[in-house]
Amino acid sequence: MYRFEPNLRIPGPTHLPPSVREAGGRQMINHRGPEFAALLARIDRRMRVFFGTQQEVLLITAAGTGGLEAAIVNALSPADRVLAVPTGAFGDRFAKIASVYGAEVTRLETEWGRAADPAALRAHLTADADYRAVLLTHNETSTGVTNPIAALAAMVRELAPEALILVDGVSALGAVPFEMDAWGLDVVVTGSQKAWMAAPGMSMIALSERAWLAADEARMPRFYFDLRDARKTAANGQTPWTPAVAVMYQVDAGLELMEAETPARVFTRHAACAAATRAGLEALGFRLLADPAFASNTVTAAWIPEDLDWKAFNGEVKARQVVLAGGQGKLKGKIFRVGHLGAVNLDDILGAIGVLEEVARVFGRPAEPGAAVAAAQRAVLAAVEARPAAAEGVPA
């Protein structure tokens, strides 16, 4: 047992604030009653702000992966041509779901650690634009890259105007500016355990008007994830199946905190924590995976140095109550990841960097006491000064 609460620095599940913890322990209510209807309506209303949409935001009791499956099966039919633009393990997963349900998937590859390139997408679509849908990943959790969704979507809208744009927004929505309607996105998915500061278990999803039309024609089999039922029952303040009520209490409590903080300040806090993480890790000699121009504000991946026994190193880090994430897919064993999303503040990051610095010294690595934390703090000032737009929460 730990004497102190661990510093949970994984990219979800994220740390729960006190009011969210309290919400998770509340008594059950009738999910077919008026209290539930009010809860559902409140989450929908508050979520729309962060989705940047006037569409309703529906709730599914599932992990984010279930939300991705809902996006696929509600929009598509078997044999539909789909262009996947994977940039890591989660992009691969999105593409695989489409394949499993019978879509004919073409992949536009990007080196892991880089962002999908709008110019490459332009070249591809200029040669072949006959797609029913394009699958994009907003924030690739496995590499710590945030893809330029607005630019990518603009390319699709220009060259393949009939294609639906399906976006995995699981691991950054709520933490960075996002404009579903303005960017012309058709399906956007997120998950409760990420920026929303709640426990896992709920996935939130919004569909554009044309995605709803597509849902009526889509022929992939679906029952649990049939969003037409979710929409119909939501009109009566209900969900089709018994939802994860306690997780909804938590999402609601998290949104209340985010509303009080204001979206702009939520975004600035994430930008600051991300800048501090990157600078601190680099000061410790770790090489970052992500292209700096597209480094994620919610998760940072760093290469494990070849001369470092990571298992032993990470054991010492964990013994000091800092919990990091490993690599996924082909990056397993090659990188580690630091989550900085949801209920995260600068002290959590400085604390984690300080622990990494201490353990680095234990392992005889060059690490001047205080230097990495100082670098992290300097980076925060630079980040906020250099990116007033981010500080104001305005999309870049």
**CA 244 → CA 29, 174, 249, distances in Å?**
11, 20, 9
Min dist. Cβ of residue 291 to a second copy (A): 26
Point out which span in 83-91, 195-203, 258-266, 347-355 binds a second copy (CB under 8 A): 195-203
- Rounded to whole angstroms, how far apart are CA atoms 54 and 138? 19
> Which residue in the set 12, 91, 148, 177 belongs to the binding site for a second copy (CB under 8 A)?
12
Min dist. Cβ of residue 252 to a second copy (A): 14
Handedness of CA 219, 222, 227, 230 (dihedral sign): positive
Point out which span in 107-115, 116-124, 158-166, 319-327 binds a second copy (CB under 8 A): 319-327
Min dist. Cβ of residue 21 to a second copy (A): 4
Min dist. Cβ of residue 124 to a second copy (A): 25
What's 288's DSSP letter? B
The residue among 28 and 260 lying less far from a second copy, judged by its C-beta, is: 28
Fill in the per-residue mask, 19 to 58: x = in contact with a second copy (CB under 8 A), - = not in contact. Answer: --xxxxxxxxxxxxx-------------------------
Confirm if 338 and 298 have CB atoms less than 8 A apart.
no
Number of residues that bind a second copy (CB under 8 A): 57
Min dist. Cβ of residue 36 to a second copy (A): 10
Instruction: Sort 264 into a burial class: Cβ within 10 Å, 0-12 / 13-18 / 19+.
Output: middle
E strand intervals along 62-132: 81-84, 104-107
Min dist. Cβ of residue 370 to a second copy (A): 28
> Which residue in the set 217, 223, 235, 366 belongs to the binding site for a second copy (CB under 8 A)?
223
191 binds a second copy per the rule CB under 8 A: yes
> How many Cα atoms are found within 13 Å in the side-chain-facing hemisphere of 176?
28
User: Which amino acid, one-letter code, is at 62?
Assistant: A
* Three-state secondary-structure class, residue 282: helix
Order of strands across the sheet with 81-84?
Answer: 57-61, 202-207, 187-191, 164-168, 133-137, 81-84, 104-107
- Rounded to whole angstroms, how far apart are CA atoms 274 and 49? 22
Compute φ and ψ for 372, nearest 5 degrees: -70, -40
Per the DSSP assignment, residues forming a β-bridge with 203 are 60, 191
289 binds a second copy per the rule CB under 8 A: no
What part of residues 47-106 is at the interface with a second copy (CB under 8 A)?
61-66, 69, 96-97, 100-102
> Which residue in the set 47, 220, 275, 284 belongs to the binding site for a second copy (CB under 8 A)?
220
CB atoms within 10 A of CB 3: 5
Min dist. Cβ of residue 191 to a second copy (A): 7
What part of residues 358-387 is at the interface with a second copy (CB under 8 A)?
none
The residue among 246 and 274 lying less far from a second copy, judged by its C-beta, is: 246
What part of residues 238-267 is at the interface with a second copy (CB under 8 A)?
240-247, 250
Q: Which residues bind a second copy (CB under 8 A)?
A: 5-6, 8, 10, 12-16, 21-33, 61-66, 69, 96-97, 100-102, 191, 193, 199-201, 220-225, 240-247, 250, 323, 325-326
